Amino acid sequence: MVELALRTHCPYCAYQCGIRMSDAAEAILGDPHFPVNNGQLCIKGWSAGALLRHPQRLTTPLVRDSRKDDFRPADWDEALDRIADAMRRTREQYGPDANAMFGSGALTNEKVYLLGKFARLALGTANIDYNGRYCMSSAAGGNNRAFGVDRGMPFPVNDIGEAELIVLIGSNCADTLPPIMQWFQKQKANGGRVIVIDPRRTSTARSADLHLQTTPGTDLALANGLLYLAIELDLLNREYITTRTNGFDAVRATVLNDHPARTERITGVGEPLLRQAIKWMSAAKSCMFLTGRGAEQHSKGVDTVNAWTNLALALGLPGKPQSGYGTLTGQGNGQGGREHGQKADQLPGYRLIENPDHREAMAKFWGVPAESLPRKGKSAYELIDALGESPGTAVPGLSPIRTLFVMGSNLVVASPDVNRTVARLKATDFLAVADSFLNETSQIADVVLPVYQWAEENGTMTNFEGRVIRRRQTALAPTGVRGDLDILRELADRLGCGDKFAFNSAREVFDEFRRATAGGTADYSGITYEKIEANEGVFWPCPAEDHPGTPRLFADRFFHPDGKAKFLPVEHRPAGDTPDAAFPYLFTTGRYKEHYNSGVQTRQVGELTKAKPGPLLQVHPTLARRHGIAGGNLVTLESRRGRAEFRVDVTPDIRPDTLFAPFHWGGREGANLLIGGFLDPVSRMPEFKLAAVRVVSVSKSAP
């Protein structure tokens, strides 16, 4: 029998399940001692060991002598010299902002911190962002505006099991976070109810007590309509509004336009269901709102989040036991990834790079003049759109980007408007990618660096509760592979900044990083590796080593200076891309439980690709009859940006005006070929969850 003595965490989503494994990763099981998953895993976690010794794993750097040439193997010195030379040459010819770094919500906190420090000190560039901009940025923007802080879940996950009512808005967590369902099962066993708001009858919606099947892009209108009814039916918590919030009168005046007839017309949800939902919400002794990407990945994502925080505040939920508002973070370190400096507008500890006091504090800590730190740079999609000679897209005062280093992101599959994204990547003077496998983005690169996988490194992650946990090394990396921290240290040394990056271990980086967060909103200064080990993680903020951490926020005060939460007046508005006679249908995207994000890892695992070998397009029977579509047909969809091809699944689980496909694949099956680069004005989140499309052709051939 294989000994499963090694403990670490799953490489995938922000639930960050605890796992046990053998030293050769022959077997992986859930860790029964980690209180988040309690021994449960999904199919991705069980099969994650297949990534470590995969035959397609990169084990040597690859370089091109020119874009016309194929890759050839190179040693590490040549590969790193090429990257450093390109960065130096770009800075000398075009200025520091012509270099850019693109990070990932999968990176450890140590990597996030060092990547941000590398951009600001070694390169001096404003242009650093990451794929979490595509994931949690609208939730972060809305949370910060309403509560003064962005911690996706301001309470531990086990609180779900004690809530009388849970409202899931745009989240199919049964497929995207399968082990979380144990808490919903406990909640149901305790007599609780669940409302699911989703355009599809998903796995999660099928288990709900009430499913509100909205038109995509109308979650904001739904929240405003429910608040209208709460006012009409006198269901507000007026004492809470008076004592713990500001700004309700302005919101009240705004939502008086959102009467049930208007809400029904916009959302497609009938008035009887609206009235049933708000009565359940107001009558529950404890009620929890949880939003997901379905509500947030829109050009009005931040306003949508605030429409739901408005309703939560009006009902007096945030800070109440087993109640409140939370967001279900997506990527493995989606929470920590947006706190510590790889986002264009941030510095460690959730400080803001445009805030003079924050800049001064970090400059003093790093031992550099405050004026030497760059300002706010371009957001993720705007950064990509400024690559090479891209006239008319540059942010004033910032030059076009000539050299890009990507760490842990597959931009070609994950970004909107894929054809434009590919063109911009090809327009760079120099592109470097660090990853474990070749993917659609690294195939375009000039240099590809092979890096450690999840079980081969030490570090910390911050899961969706705000619980800081240990990623432990449980396997040896193949010969020839190096860590991201080593790569940044070596590049900094080549760029003449080695003294600021002289770290020999993740623990050394963490020790500086936690001190760098002291006094910030996301204060990790009291967290140590030993404290994490002793407590199965530590919740931030934790400002001192004798501080226990903060599992629950908002019991006494919010994070605005006056301690009160804010209502924000928001109104429904059209999406960036709206249907018309030429493009009559709505297209939306999401995930399969067998695959993860851009699929770089999961598409390598035979068990997962066998279960889901490709994307299926969900088509309602009414729409299928209109176009003569049958299950298994190959259908070509076209938007105003591109075409994509999908095999068809005819199902009543989708609205008749809506089509759905997952986004884990590239090539002709790439869902993001259809998606536009319409951005939220606050978060700069692209509108991934909605595009206007038409059916171009239907092939009758069998799959």
Q: Which two tokens stand for residue 162?
A: 């004690």
What is the spatial distance between Cα 437 and Cα 445, in angstroms, rounded to a whole number? 13
User: What one-character DSSP code corresponds to residue 678?
Assistant: -
At 647 the three-state DSSP class reads strand
The DSSP H or E segment spanning 590 is strand 585-590
pTM for this structure?
Answer: 0.96
Of 574, 558, 564, 680, the closest CA to residue 303 belongs to 680
What does the pLDDT read at residue 127?
Answer: 97
Dihedral over Cα of 165, 169, 173, 177: its sign: negative
Dihedral over Cα of 662, 663, 665, 669: its sign: positive
H helix intervals, 330-445: 334-337, 356-366, 380-385, 411-414, 418-426
Of 339, 311, 307, the closest CA to residue 324 belongs to 311
Exposure pattern of 469-495 as b/e (b: 16+ CB <10 Å)? bbbebbbebbeebbbbbebbbbbbbbb
- The crossing angle, in degrees rounded to 10, of helices 219-232 and 271-283 is 70
Of 647, 661, 650, the closest CA to residue 698 belongs to 647
Residues with Cβ within 8 Å of 355's Cβ and at least 6 positions away in sequence, in order, are: none
What is the spatial distance between Cα 510 and Cα 262, in angstroms, rounded to a whole number? 52
What is the spatial distance between Cα 280 and Cα 288, in angstroms, rounded to a whole number? 12
Q: Are 120 and 488 in contact (CB under 8 A)?
A: no
What is the spatial distance between Cα 46 and Cα 594, in angstroms, rounded to a whole number? 11
Task: List pLDDT tens digits, range 104-142.
Answer: 999 999 999 999 999 999 999 999 999 999 999 999 999
The residue with tokens 């099928």 is 206
- Beta bridge partners of residue 643, listed in sequence order: 638
What does the pLDDT read at residue 26?
Answer: 72
User: What one-character DSSP code corresponds to residue 49?
Assistant: G
What is the spatial distance between Cα 35 and Cα 157, in angstroms, rounded to a whole number? 9
What does the pLDDT read at residue 700?
Answer: 78
With DSSP H G I counted as helix, E B as strand and the rest as coil, what are the percentages for the chain, rounded to 5? Answer: 35, 20, 45
Dihedral over Cα of 213, 214, 220, 223: its sign: negative
Dihedral over Cα of 147, 171, 104, 461: its sign: positive
Q: Which two tokens stand for residue 501?
A: 């990056």
Q: Which two tokens stand for residue 205?
A: 């919606």
Q: In terms of C-beta density within 10 A (0-12 exposed, 13-18 middle, 19 or more buried), how is residue 69 classed?
A: exposed
H helix intervals, 404-474: 411-414, 418-426
- Beta bridge partners of residue 324, listed in sequence order: 288
End-to-end CA distance of the chain: 42
Give one DSSP letter per residue of 105-162, joined into a string: TTS-HHHHHHHHHIIIIII--S-EEEGGGGTTHHHHHHHHHHHS---S-SS-GGGGGG
What is the spatial distance between Cα 505 and Cα 347, in angstroms, rounded to a whole number? 22
**Which residue type occupies 471?**
R
Q: In what order do the strands lie in the sheet with 287-291?
A: 210-212, 193-197, 165-169, 287-291, 324-327
Domains of the chain: 6-51 (3.30.200.210), 62-134+333-459+481-504 (3.40.50.740), 137-327 (3.40.228.10), 585-699 (2.40.40.20)
Q: Which two tokens stand for residue 234?
A: 């006198």
Q: Which two tokens stand for residue 671?
A: 């869902």
Residues (pLDDT < 70) of the chain are 1-4, 24-25, 389-399, 701-703
What is the spatial distance between Cα 402 and Cα 388, in angstroms, rounded to a whole number? 5
